[in-house]
Amino acid sequence: MDKKILNPPSLVKPTGYANGVFTQGGKIVFLAGQTAMDNTGGIVAPNDIVAQFTQCLSNLKAVVTEAGGEMTDIVKLNLFVTNKAAYKANLKPIGASYRNFFGKYYPAMTLVEVKSLFDDEAMIEIEGIAVIREQ
Protein backbone atom coordinates (compact mmCIF):
# COMPACT_ATOMS: atom_id res chain seq x y z
CA MET A 1 0.00 0.00 0.00
CA ASP A 2 1.35 3.39 -0.97
CA LYS A 3 0.52 6.42 1.18
CA LYS A 4 1.54 10.01 0.48
CA ILE A 5 0.80 13.05 2.64
CA LEU A 6 -0.50 15.95 0.54
CA ASN A 7 0.26 19.51 1.66
CA PRO A 8 0.31 21.68 -1.50
CA PRO A 9 2.50 24.79 -1.27
CA SER A 10 -0.49 26.89 -2.39
CA LEU A 11 -2.17 26.18 1.00
CA VAL A 12 -1.08 27.34 4.43
CA LYS A 13 1.30 24.82 6.03
CA PRO A 14 -0.82 22.71 8.41
CA THR A 15 0.06 22.16 12.05
CA GLY A 16 -1.18 18.93 13.60
CA TYR A 17 -2.94 17.60 10.51
CA ALA A 18 -2.42 16.94 6.80
CA ASN A 19 -4.43 18.57 4.03
CA GLY A 20 -4.83 15.20 2.36
CA VAL A 21 -3.56 11.66 2.19
CA PHE A 22 -3.26 9.78 -1.11
CA THR A 23 -3.37 5.97 -0.90
CA GLN A 24 -3.17 3.14 -3.39
CA GLY A 25 -3.88 -0.48 -2.56
CA GLY A 26 -4.68 -1.82 0.88
CA LYS A 27 -7.86 -2.60 2.77
CA ILE A 28 -10.16 0.29 3.72
CA VAL A 29 -11.51 0.23 7.28
CA PHE A 30 -14.26 2.67 8.23
CA LEU A 31 -13.95 3.51 11.92
CA ALA A 32 -17.22 4.26 13.71
CA GLY A 33 -17.33 7.27 15.98
CA GLN A 34 -15.71 6.44 19.29
CA THR A 35 -16.49 8.34 22.46
CA ALA A 36 -14.69 7.91 25.78
CA MET A 37 -16.78 4.82 26.53
CA ASP A 38 -14.93 2.09 28.38
CA ASN A 39 -15.64 -1.65 28.12
CA THR A 40 -18.41 -1.38 30.75
CA GLY A 41 -20.35 1.13 28.63
CA GLY A 42 -19.61 4.15 30.83
CA ILE A 43 -17.98 7.40 29.76
CA VAL A 44 -14.60 7.80 31.47
CA ALA A 45 -13.55 11.05 33.13
CA PRO A 46 -16.65 13.23 32.86
CA ASN A 47 -15.62 16.88 32.36
CA ASP A 48 -12.01 15.94 31.40
CA ILE A 49 -11.58 16.42 27.66
CA VAL A 50 -7.95 15.25 27.69
CA ALA A 51 -8.77 11.92 29.35
CA GLN A 52 -11.76 11.50 27.04
CA PHE A 53 -9.60 12.25 23.98
CA THR A 54 -7.14 9.59 25.12
CA GLN A 55 -9.92 7.02 25.60
CA CYS A 56 -11.33 7.81 22.13
CA LEU A 57 -7.93 7.12 20.57
CA SER A 58 -7.53 3.96 22.64
CA ASN A 59 -10.89 2.74 21.33
CA LEU A 60 -9.90 3.56 17.74
CA LYS A 61 -6.62 1.72 18.25
CA ALA A 62 -8.51 -1.40 19.36
CA VAL A 63 -10.52 -1.38 16.11
CA VAL A 64 -7.51 -0.71 13.87
CA THR A 65 -5.50 -3.42 15.64
CA GLU A 66 -8.39 -5.88 15.23
CA ALA A 67 -8.24 -5.17 11.48
CA GLY A 68 -4.51 -5.94 11.45
CA GLY A 69 -3.31 -2.36 11.29
CA GLU A 70 -1.62 0.39 13.24
CA MET A 71 -2.66 3.91 14.19
CA THR A 72 -0.49 5.31 11.38
CA ASP A 73 -2.73 3.44 8.92
CA ILE A 74 -5.46 5.97 9.73
CA VAL A 75 -5.71 8.42 6.84
CA LYS A 76 -8.70 10.52 7.98
CA LEU A 77 -10.06 11.58 11.37
CA ASN A 78 -13.19 13.59 12.14
CA LEU A 79 -13.32 15.02 15.66
CA PHE A 80 -16.62 16.20 17.13
CA VAL A 81 -16.38 18.22 20.34
CA THR A 82 -19.11 19.72 22.49
CA ASN A 83 -16.85 22.53 23.74
CA LYS A 84 -14.34 23.92 21.27
CA ALA A 85 -12.97 26.34 23.88
CA ALA A 86 -12.15 23.45 26.25
CA TYR A 87 -10.42 21.61 23.41
CA LYS A 88 -8.35 24.66 22.45
CA ALA A 89 -7.48 25.37 26.10
CA ASN A 90 -6.01 21.85 26.36
CA LEU A 91 -4.07 21.69 23.08
CA LYS A 92 -0.73 20.85 24.75
CA PRO A 93 -1.93 17.83 26.78
CA ILE A 94 -4.15 16.72 23.89
CA GLY A 95 -1.12 16.95 21.59
CA ALA A 96 0.96 14.89 24.02
CA SER A 97 -1.74 12.22 24.12
CA TYR A 98 -1.99 12.30 20.32
CA ARG A 99 1.77 11.74 19.92
CA ASN A 100 1.60 8.73 22.26
CA PHE A 101 -0.66 7.06 19.68
CA PHE A 102 0.61 8.51 16.37
CA GLY A 103 4.11 9.87 16.96
CA LYS A 104 4.72 12.63 14.41
CA TYR A 105 2.25 11.20 11.87
CA TYR A 106 -0.71 13.44 10.99
CA PRO A 107 -3.63 12.22 8.85
CA ALA A 108 -6.18 14.49 7.24
CA MET A 109 -8.37 15.84 10.07
CA THR A 110 -11.47 17.88 10.69
CA LEU A 111 -12.69 19.26 14.03
CA VAL A 112 -16.32 20.30 14.43
CA GLU A 113 -18.08 21.72 17.47
CA VAL A 114 -21.49 20.12 18.01
CA LYS A 115 -24.33 20.84 20.40
CA SER A 116 -24.25 17.39 21.99
CA LEU A 117 -23.32 13.75 21.48
CA PHE A 118 -25.35 10.59 22.04
CA ASP A 119 -23.87 10.04 25.52
CA ASP A 120 -24.60 13.11 27.63
CA GLU A 121 -21.24 12.93 29.46
CA ALA A 122 -19.23 12.58 26.23
CA MET A 123 -17.26 15.70 25.35
CA ILE A 124 -15.65 14.28 22.21
CA GLU A 125 -16.27 11.66 19.54
CA ILE A 126 -13.72 10.64 16.90
CA GLU A 127 -14.39 8.68 13.70
CA GLY A 128 -12.04 7.86 10.88
CA ILE A 129 -10.86 5.87 7.90
CA ALA A 130 -7.83 3.60 7.83
CA VAL A 131 -6.10 1.99 4.86
CA ILE A 132 -4.26 -1.15 5.90
CA ARG A 133 -1.60 -2.95 3.89
CA GLU A 134 -2.74 -6.23 2.34
CA GLN A 135 -1.05 -9.20 4.06
* Residue pLDDT, tens place only, 89-132: 999 999 999 999 999 999 999 999 999 999 999 999 999 999 99
pLDDT averaged over the chain? Answer: 95
For residue 135, pLDDT beyond 90:
no
Report the C-alpha gap between 82 and 85 in whole angstroms.
Answer: 9
Residue 45 has pLDDT above 80, yes or no: yes
* Length of the chain (residues): 135
Domain of 28, CATH number, reads: 3.30.1330.40
Q: Band of the pLDDT at 15, cuts 50, 70, 90?
A: confident
Q: What is the mean pLDDT of residues 31-40?
A: 96
Amino acid 120: pLDDT: 95
- Segments forming the whole domain that contains residue 75: 2-132
Run of H or E residues at 61: helix 49-66
Instruction: Give the confidence band of 1 by pLDDT, cuts at 50, 70, 90.
Output: confident
Q: How many structural domains comprise the chain?
A: 1
On the question of pLDDT at 13 being above 80, the answer is yes
Residue 30 CA: distances (Å) to CA of 17, 78, 122, 126: 19, 12, 21, 12
> Model pTM?
0.92
